[in-house]
Structure 1
Amino acid sequence: MPPAFKALLAQLLACVVAYVAGRSGMLPPGLWPLVLSQALAAVMIATILRSARWWLPIHLAFMPTTVAALQLEISPGWYLGAFILLALVYWSSFRTQVPLYLSNRKTAEQLSTLLPTDRPATVLDIGSGTGSLLRMLARLRPDCHYTGIEAAPAPWALGWLLGRRVRSLEWHLGDFFTSPWQAYDVVYAFLSPVPMTQVWTKAQSEMKPGSLLVSNSFAIPGREPDEIVQVDDGRRTRLLIYRIGAPGHTAQARN
């Protein structure tokens, strides 16, 4: 069942539960006992439907926030503006289940050590957000060529604005699954668990032997990474390194 449909189903069924509980006299009189019972029921139903954990606080807050906003009588234009802004930032996240993640400076420094030292390398960042990682890499290794692909218009526009003077950076708006990966020595991904099987399938079919697929935090199901690099940052980032053409084996970790 698609996650968005699970969310809708949980909310609708929770409304039915709250209505039945209210009509049967199980709840105290008033609006807010009804609202809170709906929120709790939505969380329970989402748990039964095995929704991702991050959906649960959304279900818990959705109806109380909606009712509170209605009571404040906020102009509809603010809601429209917020919707447009969120759509521009997250775009197709509801479909791809890939949120906006930004890589930090220490991750860029570790990634730069994986690039070939004897020649300029070509690097592709899939789902590149605002391009922060590529701009940091361009300062660390200005001899290399960097390409970023981002699907959401707002992060892409900010990335274009911030990176327009970086000569080694090529910046694209679109779907990285429809772009060829053959020309790259390193493909970097900071996505989510959901698309990693598809990412690995594309990498195996298109990337040249010996090139690297580097995934920030999210493993490829059913395959051990060839190496794990531990980044010394606050969130304990792990870079999972998959060498194209290498047989799967027990991963070696290094700092």
Structure 2
Amino acid sequence: MPALAKAAAAQAGGWALALLLARTGLVSHDVWAVVGTQALCAAAIAWSLRSDIWWVAIHLLFSPLLFAARSLALAPAWYLGGFVALGLIYWSSFRTGVPLFLSNRETAEAVAELLPQQRGASLLDIGSGTGALLLPLAELRPDARLVGIESAPAPFLIARLLARSRRALCVQRGDFFRHSWAEYDIIYAFLSPVPMTEVGKKARRELKPGALLVSNSFEVPGWRPERIVEVGDKRGTRLFVYTVDRAQERSGAKSVE
């Protein structure tokens, strides 16, 4: 079931259960008692549907915050503005399961060491956000060709503005799954566990021999990393480094046949 459908089912089911419990007298008719019950029921339904943990937290907070906001008597335009702002930042996160994660400078330094030393080495940051990795990387490796792809409008525009003076840095808006990865030496990903299986499949299919897939924090299921780089920052960031051995893949395929 898609994440959005799970969320709708959890909220609807939560309200149905809360109103039923209130009607039968098992829950007080007090507004906050009903709202609190709805939040607990919605979170429980989301958990039973195996929603990601952040969805469970959202369901716990959604209705209580909604009713609390009513007491502030804010003009409707504020709610519309907040909705538009969040939409521009997170855009298709509900569909892709990829929130906005920002890399730090320590990670950029570690990635810079992974880039081939020859001039013109290339890196594609899939889901590049506001350019948090690409901008410091452009300072560390001004000789490299750096490309970022971001689907959300607001992070994309921020990255484009910040990168306008960097000739070797290009930020594009679009779907990184529809962009060829074949020409790059490194594909860098800081996404979430949700798309990593598909990321691994595309990398195995398109990466040239010797190219790397570098995943920040999230492993590719069923693919053993060649090495794990401990960044040594306060987050405890780990970079999972993958390479495709074409000869090994071909021999494996023949043995299966």
Moved over 3 A (4+): none
Offset, 1:15: 0.7
Percentage of identical aligned residues: 53
Question: 1:43-91: CA deviations, max 9, x gaps?
Answer: 1121221211111221111111111222332211111111111111111
Return 146-155 or 61-70, whichever deviates more.
61-70
Offset, 1:19: 0.8
Question: 1:181-207: CA deviations, max 9, x gaps?
Answer: 111011100011111111111112211
Superposition CA RMSD, Å: 1.3
Question: 1:228-252: CA deviations, max 9, x gaps?
Answer: 001111110000000122659xxxx
Corresponding residue pairs, total: 248
**Other-structure match for 2:76:** 76
Q: How does 1:1-255 map to 2 (within 5 A)?
A: 1-245=1-245
Distance 2:198 2:210 in 1: 20
Distance 2:230 2:127 in 1: 22
Distance 2:29 2:12 in 1: 22
Distance 2:242 2:8 in 1: 37
Distance 1:190 1:29 in 2: 46
Amino acid at match of 1:94: F
The 3-state SS of whatever aligns with 1:54 is helix
Return 150-159 or 19-28, whichever deviates more.
19-28
The 3-state SS of whatever aligns with 1:72 is coil
Distance 2:180 2:55 in 1: 34
Distance 1:229 1:115 in 2: 13
Question: 1:12-62: CA deviations, max 9, x gaps?
Answer: 111111111111111234211111111111111212212111112211111
Distance 1:195 1:56 in 2: 20
Question: 1:206-241: CA deviations, max 9, x gaps?
Answer: 111110010001111111101100111111000000
Return 238-247 or 206-215, whichever deviates more.
238-247
**Other-structure match for 1:252:** none
Question: 1:118-167: CA deviations, max 9, x gaps?
Answer: 44311110100011211111111111110011111100000011110011
Distance 2:18 2:117 in 1: 63
Amino acid at match of 1:236: G
Amino acid at match of 1:242: Y
Amino acid at match of 2:215: S
